[in-house]
């Protein structure tokens, strides 16, 4: 199995909040993604969800009592905990945050947080009034100042019936932030990678646009994979997909807006990966009012060229292009590699099944001045990993040359 969680050892600390049931989904998703998940529960957490529930999804023993002389897990737990990659406390109650901030240790979660020298992620969940209390806020600041990652809470309906801040972060947000924490010392740590995604939409009038079928999934996967290798990832996107957690996301619509956003971000970046399908042409004039059909059988819209974004970015950073083609894929891709003076181009044949627009998989060929590498069909995240495998040494060479 590949991906950010494969063979990772994750400690999941669960404290006593109604949101504890959501931690079951998190434990399940992490396990399905290849992680070894050891769940630690406070006594009050076991009042909301049984240890058996977690044991059933993780297929591993759950630690609930550190003082049980018959429990092998209790005896070995500090050694096990120290070998973990991360401790995630989700949900973290106000009481648990206070214990963690003060260094109190009287339950499996808080003892582990003190005894095991592993990165800490806390996902608070409580009533809005509790979350806003200065005592809780101070404890959160204390934890952050010690390097803990605080995820959420989100805003919405709370168990008390109140509406406000206090909901446990949703599973996709937690997964994204855990992946980010796991990859913090990856081979892109300290680097900034700008990725574009989606198809631009060029307005004809206030209600109509010229656009294309790009879903944005490939670009999102690239930004996520960069994040999971330690990069500061900037995603400039037109896509209607959820913003990926832990990634600076900028929303744009037109090629001109994308150009401005890329130029603003590129100055401090190490690489630009243009996965977006940028319109080559836009309507010359945007009608200020909706165009009425009247009685005409035809309608002509004059189109003019957009500015090429890749070619507008200086050669000081690594530039990677995409070529989505339906004929002579490699020939066209090679021509673009040369004409745009790119470091690398990712070519894909959009006529192949399970590749290209909208799919979760892709089949691409990586082309650079040295030749072509044909990759098999794989997930877009895995394609992103292979692209970044090429970007890492390119950045190192660029930085070395500038030194």
User: Which is catalytic among the residues 212, 295, 348, 362?
Assistant: 212
Question: Is there binding between residue 364 and ligand CTP (CB under 6 A)?
Answer: no
Pick from 97, 150, 255, 329 the residue near ligand CTP by CB under 6 A: 255
Question: Is there binding between residue 308 and ligand CTP (CB under 6 A)?
Answer: yes
CB of 68 to ligand CTP, least distance (A): 59
Specify the residue, 18 or 286, whose C-beta has the smaller distance to ligand CTP.
Answer: 286
Closest CA to 344 of 393, 402, 390, 277: 390
Peptide bond into 91 cis (omega under 30): yes
Q: Do β-strands 202-203 and 209-210 pair in parallel, antiparallel, or remain unpaired?
A: antiparallel
CA angle 123, 128, 129 (to 5 degrees): 125
Question: Is there binding between residue 94 and ligand CTP (CB under 6 A)?
Answer: no
Task: Name the one range near ligand CTP by CB under 6 A: 81-89, 129-137, 230-238, 274-282.
Answer: 274-282
Within 33-133, residue ranges assigned H as helices are: 43-48, 51-58, 72-82, 94-102, 108-115, 128-132
CB of 311 to ligand CTP, least distance (A): 7
Specify the residue, 80 or 255, whose C-beta has the smaller distance to ligand CTP.
Answer: 255
Alpha-carbon distance of 3 to 362, in angstroms, equals 16
CB of 275 to ligand CTP, least distance (A): 7
Question: Is there binding between residue 220 and ligand CTP (CB under 6 A)?
Answer: no
Question: Is there binding between residue 306 and ligand CTP (CB under 6 A)?
Answer: yes
DSSP per-residue codes, 349-381: ETTSTTSSTT-SEE-EEEEETTEEEEPPSEEHH
Pick from 101, 181, 274, 317 the residue near ligand CTP by CB under 6 A: 274
Pick from 235, 323, 364, 394 the residue near ligand CTP by CB under 6 A: 323
Specify the residue, 23 or 272, whose C-beta has the smaller distance to ligand CTP.
Answer: 272
CB of 207 to ligand CTP, least distance (A): 24
Alpha-carbon distance of 121 to 105, in angstroms, equals 17
Pair 14, 108: CB distance under 8 Å:
no
Specify the residue, 179 or 320, whose C-beta has the smaller distance to ligand CTP.
Answer: 320
CA angle 372, 313, 202 (to 5 degrees): 95
Specify the residue, 89 or 324, whose C-beta has the smaller distance to ligand CTP.
Answer: 324
CB of 342 to ligand CTP, least distance (A): 8
Task: Name the one range near ligand CTP by CB under 6 A: 35-43, 69-77, 124-132, 322-330.
Answer: 322-330
Instruction: Compute how many residues bind ligand CTP; rule: CB under 6 A.
Output: 14
Pick from 48, 54, 131, 322 the residue near ligand CTP by CB under 6 A: 322
CB of 250 to ligand CTP, least distance (A): 15
Task: Give 332's strand partners.
Answer: none
In whole angstroms, what separates CA 181 from the centre of its chain?
11
Alpha-carbon distance of 274 to 262, in angstroms, equals 10
CB of 357 to ligand CTP, least distance (A): 12
Q: State the sign of the Cα–Cα–Cα–Cα dihedral 312, 318, 323, 324.
A: negative
Confirm whether 212 is a catalytic residue.
yes
Q: CB-side exposure of 40: number of CA atoms within 13 Å?
A: 27
Catalytic residues: 212
User: Residues interacting with ligand CTP, by CB under 6 A?
Assistant: 255, 274, 276, 278, 280, 306, 308-310, 321-324, 336
């Amino acid at each position: 199995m590949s991906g950010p969680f494969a063979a990772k050892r994750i400690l999941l600390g669960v404290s006593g909040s109604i949101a504890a049931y959501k931690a079951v989904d998190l434990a399940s998703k992490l396990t399905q993604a290849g992680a070894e998940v050891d769940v630690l529960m406070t006594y009050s957490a076991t009042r909301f969800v049984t240890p058996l529930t977690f044991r059933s999804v993780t297929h591993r023993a759950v630690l609930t009592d550190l003082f049980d002389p018959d429990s092998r897990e209790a005896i070995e737990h500090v050694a096990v905990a120290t070998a973990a990659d991360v401790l995630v406390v989700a949900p973290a109650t106000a009481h648990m945050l206070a214990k963690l901030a003060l260094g109190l240790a009287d339950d499996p979660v808080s003892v582990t947080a003190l005894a095991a020298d592993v990165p800490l992620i806390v996902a608070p969940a409580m009533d809005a009034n509790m979350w806003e209390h200065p005592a809780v806020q101070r404890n959160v600041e204390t934890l952050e100042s010690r390097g803990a990652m605080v995820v959420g809470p989100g805003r919405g309906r709370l168990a008390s019936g109140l509406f406000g801040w206090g909901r446990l972060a949703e599973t996709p947000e937690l997964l994204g932030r855990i992946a980010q924490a796991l990859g913090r010392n990856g081979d892109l740590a300290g680097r900034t990678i700008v990725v574009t995604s989606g198809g631009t939409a060029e307005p004809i009038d206030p209600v109509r646009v010229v656009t294309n079928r790009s879903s944005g999934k490939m670009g999102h996967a690239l930004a996520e994979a960069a994040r999971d290798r330690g990069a500061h990832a900037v995603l400039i996107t037109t896509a209607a997909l959820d913003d990926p957690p832990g990634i600076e996301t900028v929303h744009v619509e037109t090629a001109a807006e994308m150009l401005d956003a890329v130029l603003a971000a590129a100055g401090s970046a190490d690489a630009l990966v243009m996965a977006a399908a940028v319109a080559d042409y836009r309507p010359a004039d945007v009608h200020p009012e909706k165009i009425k059909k009247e009685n005409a059988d035809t309608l002509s819209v004059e189109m003019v060229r957009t500015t090429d974004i890749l070619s507008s970015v200086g050669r000081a950073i690594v530039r990677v292009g995409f070529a989505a083609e339906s004929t002579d894929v490699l020939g066209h891709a090679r021509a673009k590699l040369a004409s745009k003076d790119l470091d690398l181009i990712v070519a894909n044949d959009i006529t192949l099944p399970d590749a290209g627009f909208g799919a979760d998989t892709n089949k691409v060929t990586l082309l650079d001045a040295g030749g072509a590498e044909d990759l098999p069909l794989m997930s877009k995240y895995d394609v992103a990993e292979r692209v970044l495998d090429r970007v890492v040494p390119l950045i190192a060479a660029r930085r070395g040359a500038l030194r």
